[in-house]
Amino acid sequence: MAALRTLWMGLVLLGVLGVLQTRAEAQVSLQPNFQQDKFLGRWFTAGLASNASWIREKKAPLPMCTSLVAPTEDGGLNLTITFLRKDQCETRTLLLQPVGPPGCYSYTSQHWGSVNDVRVVETDYVEYALLHTESTKGPGQDFHIATLYSRTQTPREEVKEKFAAFAKAQGFTEDTIVFLPQTDKCMEGHQ
């Protein structure tokens, strides 16, 4: 009887999680007719919004970073991110594997061991891109981040407003949205 009750509770939880996951996925749209070849090249991470406590704690000293997007032979993307950390340039490369429709990718974090789903929600390819990343590290440890990519270090005010509206539509509050200051450090070599 106890085993049957445990099984029943497990199925109920899976059903609830499935509904919640479907709702979250329904809220995050996808760039129509995403063209990966136009998305390639250098982007600057100009804005972030997240439910992660480390972003709220470190948002003041967090400078802009560069991301170089290159194709892989299997149709995925190599995303090489260079950022300033403790006055030193650090580089991380993520292998984004295509999953689902064009513009949907997945990668496994070497640092956290978590699986992350990345969606290109909106882009004009020449000026900005809005991305949404979702990760689950374990029970109760859901991580969501909205990212503003810009082709320049100085995105137009309209693009910033578009990002803020996008982040708020994803449930982020004003205090979780940050625009990263531009820097000359760690930018060379990423043309």
Query: What is the domain count for the chain?
Result: 1
Look at the alpha carbons of 90, 127, 134, 168 in this order and tell me if their dihedral is positive or negative: positive
Any domain includes 121: yes
Burial category of 61 from C-beta neighbours within 10 Å (exposed 0-12, middle 13-18, buried 19 and up):
exposed
Nearest CA-CA partner of 129 in 148, 152, 104? 148
Look at residue 59 and tell me whether its pLDDT is greater than 60: no
Residue with the two structure tokens 């996951």: 21
Enzyme catalytic residues: 65
Distance of alpha carbon 75 from alpha carbon 68, whole angstroms = 16
pLDDT in tens, 109-139: 777 678 889 999 999 999 999 999 998 765 5
Which one is predicted more confidently, 170 or 181? 170
- Of 191 and 185, the structure prediction assigns the larger pLDDT to 185
pTM greater than the 0.85 cutoff: no
Domain with 102 in it:
36-179
CA distance 173 to 156: 21
117 occurs within a structural domain = yes
Answer yes or no: is 166 within a domain. yes
Report the CATH number that the domain containing residue 104 is assigned in CATH: 2.40.128.20
